[in-house]
């Protein structure tokens, strides 16, 4: 069903991927983004092979290779840096597509440039926030506001997609009593810094346990053989209300070092990375409870607006891209727009709701907590603490639930014909 026009509220990874996907399928689309001048904010993100496949089929494989690092290995370690479980990633694991670690802001700008080139500048409106929408059975009428000037803009389309993040205005209208995001009693500090490679320069490491952990991985190449290293440190904090996420909330190195100042391993000096970081940002670990529906008539949700989840297992950005492709397929293959949105909802929502809950239980990283519980002082052989079959079962269970297993990714039909 190509005789449609779609309004996408939100110009993040999910919304822009949807715009590219709809354009590829011959469906007219307009994107509205609240930020007036999108900039390369944020730090690292991992794109799983299943998402890289979709971006490659959108013609962006070469551009991704230029801005990202093809991750070969994921190591789960305890708080002493001892290896609990090593897992091959991307091509090294048998996928036909790499796993890329990239700078989130660079990825967003790459997608934005592609969208502007393909659907034209006039169909990408920045600096406009959705305030309200109405639907009459045939069309959706949407109201936007320029928060700087106060001026309003009205638009209408066959379909509205809320891809406007964890604080989605579209979701708020659908679920007005939902309230603030759920705070997981963890605070995260993160930064990106140029440094010498660690291990093989293509490995992502997660060390620690549920109440204190660090995630470190390279996200780009720099001059002189250095890499741009993304690091995230998190710890449990006392029960309190979560502040609204703010990428601009900076903290001092001393605050982070007070918790992670002795995390020096034979393969990585984490305090040194923290000391070298000029800008360190803090934000709360939050998500939202699963909901019973994303699609309401001619309006639906996508990405963090649909399934805001904790950043466990490198899922959020990848799943938003899959949302975009699944929604496009439903619109192409279904004669009725409302029925297409219902199909998309039925296909994607149950699995995403499951991942939200799995991530609250530490997802595939639960092996780290098992090691902490069973061997808090470290170990000589991990097999004496957690049998290999148990480690493999944990990883396989999450991969299957998330649609990340090699067989599924390599052999499923394309969502949208390239």
pLDDT band for position 418 (50/70/90)? low
Q: Look at residue 224 and tell me whether its pLDDT is greater than 90.
A: no
Q: For 253-295, where are the E strands, in sequence order? A: 280-287
Angle at 26 between CA 24 and CA 32, to 5 degrees: 80
In CATH, 188-283 is 3.30.9.30: yes
b/e sequence 347-356, b meaning 16+ C-beta within 10 Å? ebbeebbebb
Least confident of 164-178, 285-299, 349-363: 349-363
Write down the residue that tokens 């390279």 correspond to.
Answer: 218
| Per-residue pLDDT at 348 exceeds 70 | yes
Q: How large is the average pLDDT for residues 385-393? A: 89
Collapsed DSSP state (helix, strand, coil) of residue 189: strand
Q: What are phi and psi of 228, to 5 degrees?
A: -85, 115
**In the predicted model, is pLDDT for residue 247 greater than 60?**
no
Q: Supply 226's token pair.
A: 């250095």
- Separation of alpha carbons 90 and 101, rounded Å: 11
Count of Cβ atoms closer than 10 Å to residue 281 Cβ: 20
Q: Average pLDDT, stretch 337-366?
A: 90
pLDDT for position 217: 96
Q: Tell me the mean pLDDT in the region 104-129.
A: 95
What 3-state class would DSSP assign to 315? coil
Task: Please state, for a pLDDT cut of 70, what percent of the chain lies above it.
Answer: 94
Task: Give this prediction's pTM.
Answer: 0.94
Most trustworthy range by pLDDT among 134-138, 166-170, 178-182: 166-170
Please provide the average confidence, as pLDDT, over all residues in the chain.
Answer: 92
């Amino acid at each position: 069903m190509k005789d449609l026009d779609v309004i996408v509220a939100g110009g993040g990874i999910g919304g822009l991927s949807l715009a590219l996907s709809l354009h590829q399928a011959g469906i007219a689309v307009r994107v509205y983004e609240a930020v007036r001048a999108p900039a390369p904010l944020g730090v690292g993100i991992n794109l799983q092979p299943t998402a890289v496949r979709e971006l490659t089929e959108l013609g962006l494989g070469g551009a991704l290779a230029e801005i990202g690092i093809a991750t070969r290995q994921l190591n789960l370690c305890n708080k002493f840096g001892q290896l609990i479980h090593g897992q091959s990633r991307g091509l090294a694991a048998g996928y036909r597509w790499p796993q890329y670690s990239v700078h989130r802001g660079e990825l967003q700008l790459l997608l934005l440039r592609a969208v502007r080139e393909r659907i034209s500048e006039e169909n990408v409106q920045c600096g406009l926030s959705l305030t309200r929408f109405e639907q009459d059975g045939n069309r959706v009428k949407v109201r936007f506001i320029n928060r700087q000037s106060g001026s309003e803009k009205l638009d209408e389309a066959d379909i509205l997609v809320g891809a406007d993040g964890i604080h989605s205005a579209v979701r708020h209208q659908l679920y007005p009593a939902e309230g603030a995001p759920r705070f997981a009693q963890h605070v995260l500090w993160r930064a990106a810094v140029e440094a010498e490679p660690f291990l093989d320069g293509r490995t992502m490491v997660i060390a620690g346990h549920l109440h204190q952990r660090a995630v470190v991985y390279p996200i780009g190449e720099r001059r002189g053989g250095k890499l741009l290293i993304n690091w995230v440190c998190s710890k449990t904090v006392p029960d309190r209300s979560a502040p609204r996420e703010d990428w601009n909330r900076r903290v001092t190195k001393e605050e982070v070092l007070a918790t992670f100042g002795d995390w020096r391993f034979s393969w990585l000096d984490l305090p040194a990375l923290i000391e070298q970081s000029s800008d360190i940002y803090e934000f709360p670990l939050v998500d939202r409870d699963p909901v019973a529906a994303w699609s309401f008539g001619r309006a639906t949700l996508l990405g963090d607006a649909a399934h805001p989840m904790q950043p466990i297992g490198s899922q959020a950005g990848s799943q938003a891209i899959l949302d975009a492709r699944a929604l496009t397929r439903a619109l192409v293959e279904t004669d009725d727009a409302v029925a297409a949105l219902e199909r998309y909802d039925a296909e994607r929502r149950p699995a995403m709701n499951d991942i939200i809950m799995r991530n609250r239980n530490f997802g595939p990283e639960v092996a780290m907590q098992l090691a902490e519980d069973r061997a808090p002082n470290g170990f000589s052989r991990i097999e004496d603490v957690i049998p290999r079959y148990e480690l493999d079962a944990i990883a396989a269970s999450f991969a299957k639930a998330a649609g990340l297993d090699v067989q599924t990714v390599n052999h499923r039909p394309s969502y949208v014909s390239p």
